[in-house]
A and B are shown apart, each in its own frame.
Chain A
Amino acid sequence: MALISRSCSGFLAQLSSLTHHKAFSVSTAAAAIQKMTRVRVVDNSPLGSTPWHRSPRVIHVYTKNGVGKVGDRVLLAIKGGKKKALIVGHKMPGERMNPRFDSNNVVLIEDNGNPTGTRIKVPLPTHLRKMEGDYSKLLAIASRFV
């Protein structure tokens, strides 16, 4: 049922684009990361890579408001347990010259701040370096910067 409605909405979107021929692309509005957001774990930790019937979800955002942007720590419910993580990219557009990602990316972190995985294949934003916080460890295990 969900699959049919999913494919329908995509099909309709394509139909409308064929008939109307806009000169610009339109995308859905995307919010930043909050509770119950499904996220994508982008490091090579075993916890993030093994499949599970539910995707990892955010259950708490450690900011003053409950909204998580790049560089904020969150608590994930992953594989039946809780794990802290750090947001490294979201679908919501931020500042003008900062990259926007097509998926809400997150890197798993221990309680002391050490990353759980050892490599990150997905590109990380370079403005992480300017932000206040412990991001040098993530930048050290990253392979690409954007």
Chain B
Amino acid sequence: MYVLHCSRQFVSQILSHNVLRGYTGVVRGACLISKARRSTTFLYRRYTCLASQQMHPHLSAFYNGIRRYYSDSPGKLLAQQDEYEMQSDSSQRNPQEDFNISVLVSLLRQENAADICVIKVPEDIKYTDYFIVVSGSSSRHLRAMALYAIKVKDGDPHANIEGKDAEDWMCIDFGRMVVHFMLPETREVYELEKLWTLRSLDEQLSSIPVETLPEDFIYGADVNVTK
């Protein structure tokens, strides 16, 4: 399972720091996964499990980075089934939006979507509230899921399927939620969940070499030079 693999790598990195020896019991318990559908909550739940414990000082900066991305209070351990109710501490959101995200996830489950990953995006990134990545078995499956999602939400005039002519990646922007339908191979290439959970700590981002300007660079000096 893709999500499990990346979370396992992640957790093994943490464990290798020899800090969480006391918590390996918790983590091993979390590693037992039975079904594909429930793996969606795992990445999420493990992070919150870890974040809820007392932090050792040299990893605390790292955990604060993770904790920031979840607006729920760190002290709570969350139930497995309700991945989208996890952050409902701040009950400023009106029940209408929660209703829509739960409707969306339930219809994705109904359509046999594999690896549903719902990421709650923090408020500082003013893009969207929920970022959902979903896999499908074939491009026809993806297209069917996307069309069904649009059909259920046919009140929204702005929701259109982006990437209609791409076979492996389609997305729909519903305002508060953005759904990406990808094939598993495409998902492995882009690793959107990694980017949106570890915002600046993402490995693909950090492997981009830093661009430095040459010493003789003058801004605007190349405008009138003809080659």
Give residues in A with beta carbon < 8 Å to B: 2-3, 5-7, 9-10, 27-28, 30, 44, 49, 102, 110, 112-114, 118-119, 121, 126, 129, 133-137, 139-141, 143, 145
Q: 16 A-B residue contacts at CB 8 Å?
A: A3-B216, A44-B204, A44-B207, A49-B209, A112-B167, A113-B163, A114-B168, A118-B191, A118-B204, A121-B208, A129-B173, A135-B162, A137-B169, A137-B171, A139-B127, A140-B195
Measured in the bound complex, the distance between the Cα atoms of B180 and A126 in whole Å is 19
Measured in the bound complex, the distance between the Cα atoms of B165 and A112 in whole Å is 6
Determine if B166 and A112 form an interchain contact, defined as CB atoms under 8 angstroms apart: yes
B176-220 vs A, Cβ < 8 Å mask (1 yes, 0 no): 001010000010011110011001101011011100000010111
Determine if A7 and B178 form an interchain contact, defined as CB atoms under 8 angstroms apart: no
Chain B residues within 8 Å of A49, by CB: 209
Answer whether A143 and B166 are a contact pair too, CB < 8 Å, given A9-B224, A28-B220, A121-B205.
no
Measured in the bound complex, the distance between the Cα atoms of B225 and A2 in whole Å is 7
Determine if A118 and B127 form an interchain contact, defined as CB atoms under 8 angstroms apart: no
Determine if B162 and A136 form an interchain contact, defined as CB atoms under 8 angstroms apart: yes
B interface residues, tally (CB under 8 Å): 41
Nearest Cβ on chain B to A31's Cβ, whole angstroms? 10
Determine if A143 and B163 form an interchain contact, defined as CB atoms under 8 angstroms apart: no
Nearest Cβ on chain B to A146's Cβ, whole angstroms? 11
Measured in the bound complex, the distance between the Cα atoms of B161 and A113 in whole Å is 12
Nearest Cβ on chain A to B214's Cβ, whole angstroms? 11
Measured in the bound complex, the distance between the Cα atoms of B221 and A138 in whole Å is 31
Any A CB within 8 A of the CB of B125: yes
Quick one: which of B144-184 are within 8 Å of A by CB?
A: 162-163, 165-169, 171-173, 178, 180
Given contacts A113-B165, A114-B168, A140-B192, 12 further A-B contacts (CB under 8 A): A7-B218, A49-B209, A114-B169, A118-B190, A118-B204, A119-B195, A121-B205, A126-B126, A136-B171, A136-B172, A137-B162, A137-B171
Smallest CB-CB separation from A121: which chain B residue?
Answer: B208
Measured in the bound complex, the distance between the Cα atoms of B207 and A111 in whole Å is 26
Nearest Cβ on chain B to A91's Cβ, whole angstroms? 9
Any A CB within 8 A of the CB of B223: yes
Chain A residues within 8 Å of B28, by CB: none
Nearest Cβ on chain B to A20's Cβ, whole angstroms? 17
Measured in the bound complex, the distance between the Cα atoms of B178 and A135 in whole Å is 12
Determine if B205 and A119 form an interchain contact, defined as CB atoms under 8 angstroms apart: yes
Any A CB within 8 A of the CB of B227: yes
Determine if B204 and A6 form an interchain contact, defined as CB atoms under 8 angstroms apart: no
Nearest Cβ on chain A to B154's Cβ, whole angstroms? 19
Specify which of A5, A28, A118, A137 is in contact with B163 (CB 8 Å cutoff).
Answer: A137
Determine if B190 and A141 form an interchain contact, defined as CB atoms under 8 angstroms apart: yes
Max chain B C-beta neighbours (<10 A), residue from A129, A140, A143, A145:
A140
Determine if A10 and B221 form an interchain contact, defined as CB atoms under 8 angstroms apart: yes
Chain B residues within 8 Å of A2, by CB: 225, 227
Measured in the bound complex, the distance between the Cα atoms of B126 and A126 in whole Å is 9
Measured in the bound complex, the distance between the Cα atoms of B202 and A119 in whole Å is 10
Measured in the bound complex, the distance between the Cα atoms of B206 and A2 in whole Å is 35
Nearest Cβ on chain B to A52's Cβ, whole angstroms? 14
Measured in the bound complex, the distance between the Cα atoms of B173 and A49 in whole Å is 30
